[in-house]
Amino acid sequence: MSKTYSGGVPLAEVVRSGFVEGLHRGSVVVLDAAGATVAAAGDVGSPVFPRSASKPMQTVGMLRAGLPLTDPADVAIVSASHAGEEFHVARVGALLAGAGLDESDLGCPPDLPMGELAREAVLRAGGGPTRGRMNCSGKHAGMLLTCLAAGWPRAGYRQPEHPLQLALRATVQECTGEPVAAVGVDGCGAPVLAVSLTGLARAYLRLVSAGPGSPERAVADAMRAHPELVGGTWAEDSRLMRGLPGTLAKIGAEGVIAAALPGVGAVALKIDDGATRARMPVLVSALRRLGVRAPVLDEYAELPLLGGGVPVGAVRPVW
């Protein structure tokens, strides 16, 4: 594995009034059900930060370390990049309260909900940023509960050398089948681990293919059973899992998304400029290479562009 991501190739074009006004470059890999590469573009072998697309693997590591969750909805919220809607905040709060903790114990920064309507509702009610509304609060709650279960100190749980983070790093390496190439600080303050897109796709395929009763299968089943907790009412990964049953999907910052279907295969991609608008059209193109068809994919095959309030073009895949 190279230590440096070399960047991708044109994956999507921005067409306005029949004129191509821009391109989104990136990298994408498609694996079949056996884990063999059936299609790829760009640099899929060098490390990137998957950002929040790593969360399912981190939850696997927490369960292995003793995270005492029996409700699949709790497993889903720990794996989430939630939108900060009230049902997300309530679920995180209940997790913390059950362990004698509260939002002040979370190491993630305060934030407002991600959705515009939810943000406006909070502000109109006189509220403001809170740690529970931060999209990674479920993960941080899970990390705190894992420390309590394993007898590890809660202090410094975000630090890369903490026993919790060492255990999660080992799990990521096992799931991806490759060493972590770099350790950074994610937006929530916890470590983010660099692996290749091929390794990321391999990990998602492993989760959906794992046997019943395993931590991997528990995470995949929980996320697929409660997609609205993983993202939110309108989140891309939540809508994909609702509309294509059996799919495990998770977005990450900087244009990352990974998805897998048992018995079918897996996809992982990164849009180099971090643009979210190109992510889903490219994912649809990749899934169709595996023979996947569903109305929800048709919805995301192209992203409409508006001019004067009416559609005048689209962001569409060129790969």
Q: How many residues can be counted in the chain? A: 319
pLDDT, tens only, 97-146? 999 999 999 999 999 998 788 889 899 999 999 999 999 999 999 999 99
Instruction: Tell me the average pLDDT of the chain.
Output: 97
Question: What pLDDT score does 1 carry?
Answer: 59
Residues 6+ apart with CB under 8 A from 117: none
d(CA 253, CA 147): 26
Closest to 257 measured CA to CA, from 173, 160, 247: 247
pLDDT, tens only, 142-152? 999 999 999 99
Q: Rounded to two decimals, what is the model's pTM?
A: 0.96
Residues 6+ apart with CB under 8 A from 116: none
